[in-house]
Amino acid sequence: MIRNLAASALAGSLVLPLAVSSAIAADSAAPKRNDGVDLVIELGVGGQVQPRYPGARDLLFAPYPIVSMSYLRLPGLFELGGGPKTAFTIGPSFRVIGKRDPGDEPGLAGTRKLDPTYEAGIKAAYEFNFDPVYGAEVIGEVRGAFGEASGVVGTVGADVIARPIKTLELRLGPRANLASSDYMGTYFSVTPGESVASGGHLDAFDAGGGLYSVGLKASARYEFKPTWFLNANAGYERFVGDARNSPIVATAGNENQFTVGVGLSKQFSLDLFRD
């Protein structure tokens, strides 16, 4: 049970806390660090409430790790990060979806059991800081799936950024999620055999690829003491198109999906090369 909870908790939540971003200055006049620091990383742990699987009615709570990188310098090669006013960020994106067991949800009786799916890919963003208080960011992610499901999934979105005080950063913006037909078929299709096995409770359905959900994401980051941060995030996702029309969601699930998480982290600044 603990293993299943941990795997499910990674679904979606890892996209935000495990995104390791490296900012590339777009303005050659942007200030560079001169304090001898070569690497700035952040480590911590949090907990999140989220759907047990895509379309699930019930929620679960389980821990997740927080790992991020905001600065890296390799002497004589390149410098990533450092606080430019306008920056491109890039890093990995991960998600793990836990198993779906018909024994846990009576409405799914007759469908086959789904093992975990693992997703790995890349996340990129372009941030505009208009002044010390306000900014904006456009975001894109693409991941390949393997395990139970295969295919490609992606997210596009944007955030408005506000820093009302030096120690607090707030973000809010829309998201749109897309997936290939083979990935959609795993989680939202119902085969004729499954329909018969369900006693007709679930109609046969063939889900196609494309846009499957839209929603909002929000996050807050508070530095309550130097290099220590309280992180909070919340998300709302609503299925659209074939995902919404699927009997897995319409008959046995919920078209509205919510996540809420909070975590504690500490930032470390390291001098790796002592130049």
**8 Å CB contact between 17 and 111:** no
Bridge-partner residues for 24, per DSSP? 88
Buried/exposed 223-232: b ≥16 CB within 10 Å, e otherwise: eeeeeebbbe
The whole-number pLDDT of residue 234 equals 97
The answer to whether residue 125 sits within a structural domain is yes
Task: State whether residue 102 is helix, strand or coil.
Answer: helix
Summarize pLDDT for 185-209 with one digit per residue, the tens. 999 999 999 999 999 899 999 999 9
Give the domain extent around 152. Answer: 2-270
The whole-number pLDDT of residue 14 equals 38
Tell me which residues of the chain have a pLDDT lower than 50.
Answer: 1-31, 84
Nearest to 89 by CA among 41, 33, 141: 141
Q: Where are the alpha helices (DSSP H) in the chain?
A: 2-10, 181-188, 192-197, 241-245, 247-250
The answer to whether residue 275 sits within a structural domain is no
Per-residue tokens: 3: 């293993």
The whole-number pLDDT of residue 156 equals 97
The answer to whether residue 115 sits within a structural domain is yes
The answer to whether residue 12 sits within a structural domain is yes
Number of domains in the chain: 1
Residue type, 22: S
**Domain of residue 188, CATH code:** 2.40.230
Summarize pLDDT for 85-97 with one digit per residue, the tens. 557 766 678 788 8
The whole-number pLDDT of residue 22 equals 36
The whole-number pLDDT of residue 41 equals 81
The answer to whether residue 28 sits within a structural domain is yes
Summarize pLDDT for 207-237 with one digit per residue, the tens. 999 999 999 999 999 999 999 999 999 999 9
Q: Tell me the whole-structure pTM to 2 decimals.
A: 0.79
